[in-house]
């Protein structure tokens, strides 16, 4: 680990090259640069996740930690190349004072030439990732709405400012559920007529999976809150009965489909490193995420006739009133 205090970005870049040379491996076969925009509270966990994900995707990880406040503008950096943490390069930059408003000026000289850039906000994220001074350099921008208490408003903001390349870890979290539900509908189970998603309160993932189902199936979609953890159950009412995937304990789920015996399914909640690795597997726009975001709006504000036909109100319709309409 190299520590540079009161330094500049070009000195950091030079130090990385020196370190590479010293280790005898001047060629760099990295596939992307990951920019992590974070604060002191989230940085440790994010760095661990990034270095684990770097085993699958060799990359340069640049954590930019903003330390606004009084005192002069200056940059402190730590560099770690290779070693126990994984094959990539970890660069932690702390931006003090006025400099914390100009993170882009630190990041640009450190980006790997002509390779994709991914920006990740593990905690709070900007309203418009694609026009953010850092986000504008990235072709993939990862936010995490599950961490937010105002998640419904935030999903609305995501939709409003969506640009191809945006994605959200609360969407990534739904992949195993979506995969199992899609596999269930590969079977002859009839046509889906109604969807109910059960989850702990205030969970962006639950809204996104409901939004996805709403858009794909075009049927009334409800959300019911319970104790969790996470998403606990998805029920698809079909013309032949019920497809239900239920996971009360956050680990093992039970899949029931019409005309077939029930079966257990391992559906463990995944670690941040696993989520991030999935996110980095594809760097092109995720159109299905956009679709799910649009579906969220339809779940929260269902057309009136649907409500009547349905006979009951979606549990989320109350907080939805706070959100401005699409």
Partner 1 sequence: MINPLRDVNDRRLPRVAGPCSLIIFGVTGDLARKKVMPAIYDLANRGLLPPGFALVGFARRDWVDQDFAQIVHDSVREHARTEFREEVWQQLASGIRFIAGDLRSDESFDELRRVVDELDQTRGTRGNHAFYLSIPPGLFPDVINQLRRSGLATAAKDAWRRVVIEKPFGHDTKSAQELNKVVGTVFDSGSVFRIDHYLGKETVQNMLAIRFANAMYEPIWNSNYVDHVQITMAEDIGIGGRAGYYDGIGAARDVIQNHLLQLLALTAMEEPNSFLAHSVRVEKEKVLSALVLPRDIEKHSARGQYAAGWQGGVEVKGFLEEEGIDPKSITETYAAIRVDIDNRRWAGVPFYLRAGKRLGRRVTEVAVTFKRAPHLPFSSTATQELSNNVIVFRIQPDEGMTVRFGSKVPGTALEVRDVNMDFAYGDTFTEASPEAYERLILDVLLGDPPLFPRHSEVELQWKILDPILERWAKRGQPEQYHSGGWGPESSYEMMARDGRMWRRP
Q: Tell me if 187 contacts partner 1 by CB under 8 A.
A: yes
State whether residue 54 is helix, strand or coil.
Answer: coil
Q: Tell me the closest approach of the beta carbon of residue 261 to partner 1, in angstroms.
A: 5
Residue selected from 11, 183, 309, 318 as contacting partner 1 according to rule CB under 8 A: 183
Q: Does 132 bind partner 1 (CB under 8 A)?
A: no
> Which of 213, 296 has the CB closer to partner 1?
213
CA-based nearest residue to 301, from 289, 292, 313, 311:
313
Residue 229 sits in the site that holds partner 1 (CB under 8 A): no
Rounded least distance, CB 25 to partner 1, Å: 9
Q: List the one residue from 21, 227, 282, 321 that touches partner 1 (CB under 8 A).
A: 282
**Residue 325 interacts with partner 1 (CB under 8 A): yes or no:** no
The reply to whether 55 sits near partner 1 by the rule CB under 8 A is: yes
Q: How far is the CB of 33 from partner 1 (least distance, A)?
A: 16
Backbone φ, ψ for residue 186 (5° rounding): -70, -20
Closest to partner 1 by CB, 106 vs 213, is 213
Q: What are phi and psi of 238, to 5 degrees?
A: -120, 175
Among 68, 82, 87, 248, binds partner 1 (CB under 8 A): 87
| Among the residue ranges 14-22, 93-101, 149-157, 263-271, the one whose residues contact partner 1 (CB under 8 A) | 263-271
Under the binding rule (CB under 8 A), the answer on residue 175 touching partner 1 is yes
Residue 117: which of 106, 108, 105 has the closest Cα? Answer: 108
Q: Quick one: 145 or 172, whose CB is closer to partner 1?
A: 172
Detail the DSSP E strand segments found in 200-315: 221-225, 231-238, 241-246, 252-256, 263-266
Q: How far apart are CB 70 and partner 1 at their closest, in Å?
A: 44
Question: Could you give the C-alpha distances from 139 to 114, 166, 194, 280, 291, in angstroms and in order?
Answer: 12, 8, 37, 11, 19
Site size with partner 1, rule: CB under 8 A: 45
DSSP calls for 274-294: HHHHHHHH--S--HHHHHHHH
Contact present, 56 and 280 (Cβ < 8 Å): yes
Rg (the chain; Cα; Å): 22
Instruction: Specify whether the CB–CB gap between 199 and 227 falls below 8 A.
Output: no
HSE-up of 174 (CA within 13 Å, CB side)?
28
- Region from 71-79, 108-116, 147-155, 279-287 binding partner 1, contact rule CB under 8 A: 279-287
Binding residue for partner 1, selected from 134, 255, 314, 320, defined by CB under 8 A = 255
Query: What DSSP letter does each residue of 92-114 carry, written as one string?
Result: EEEEEGGGGG-HHHHHGGGSPTT
Pick from 76, 278, 307, 317: which binds partner 1 (CB under 8 A)?
A: 278
Question: Looking at 1, 23, 288, 309, which residue binds partner 1 (CB under 8 A)?
Answer: 288
The reply on whether position 251 binds partner 1 by CB under 8 A is: yes
Name the DSSP class of 159: H
Q: Shortest CA distance to 168 belongs to which of 134, 146, 144?
A: 144
Residues at the contact surface with partner 1, assessed by CB under 8 A: 27, 29, 31, 55-58, 87, 172, 175-176, 178-183, 185-188, 192, 213, 216-217, 251-252, 255, 257, 260-261, 263-268, 274, 277-278, 281-282, 286-288
């Amino acid at each position: 680990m190299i520590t540079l205090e009161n330094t500049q970005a070009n000195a950091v870049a030079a130090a990385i090259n020196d370190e590479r040379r010293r280790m005898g491996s001047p060629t760099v076969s990295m596939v992307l640069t990951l920019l992590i925009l974070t604060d002191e509270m989230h940085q440790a966990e994010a760095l661990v996740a990034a270095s684990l994900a770097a085993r699958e995707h060799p990359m340069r990880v640049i954590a930019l930690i903003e330390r606004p406040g009084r005192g002069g503008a200056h940059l402190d950096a730590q560099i770690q190349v290779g070693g126990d943490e994984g094959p990539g390069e970890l660069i932690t930059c702390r931006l003090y004072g006025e400099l914390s408003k100009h993170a882009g000026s630190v990041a640009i000289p450190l980006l790997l030439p002509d390779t994709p850039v991914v920006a990740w906000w593990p905690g709070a994220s900007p309203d418009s990732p694609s026009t953010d001074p850092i986000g504008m350099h990235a072709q993939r921008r990862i936010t995490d709405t599950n961490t937010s208490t105002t998640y419904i408003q935030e999903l609305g903001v995501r939709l409003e400012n969506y640009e191809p390349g945006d994605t959200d870890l609360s969407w990534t979290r739904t992949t195993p559920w979506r995969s199992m539900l899609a596999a269930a509908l590969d079977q002859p189970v009839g046509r889906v007529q109604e969807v109910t998603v059960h989850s702990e309160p205030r969970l962006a993932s639950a809204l996104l999976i409901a939004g996805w189902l709403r858009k794909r199936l075009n049927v009334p979609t409800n959300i019911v809150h319970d104790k969790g953890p996470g998403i606990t159950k998805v029920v698809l009412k079909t013309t032949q009965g019920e497809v239900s995937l239920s996971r009360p304990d956050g680990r093992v789920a039970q899949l029931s489909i019409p005309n077939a015996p029930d079966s257990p399914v391992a559906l463990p909640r995944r670690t941040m490193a696993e989520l991030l690795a999935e996110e980095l597997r594809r760097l092109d726009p995720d159109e299905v995420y956009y679709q799910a975001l649009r579906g969220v709006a339809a779940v929260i504000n269902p057309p009136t006739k649907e409500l009547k036909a349905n006979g009951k109100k979606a549990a989320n319709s109350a907080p939805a009133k706070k959100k401005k309409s699409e």
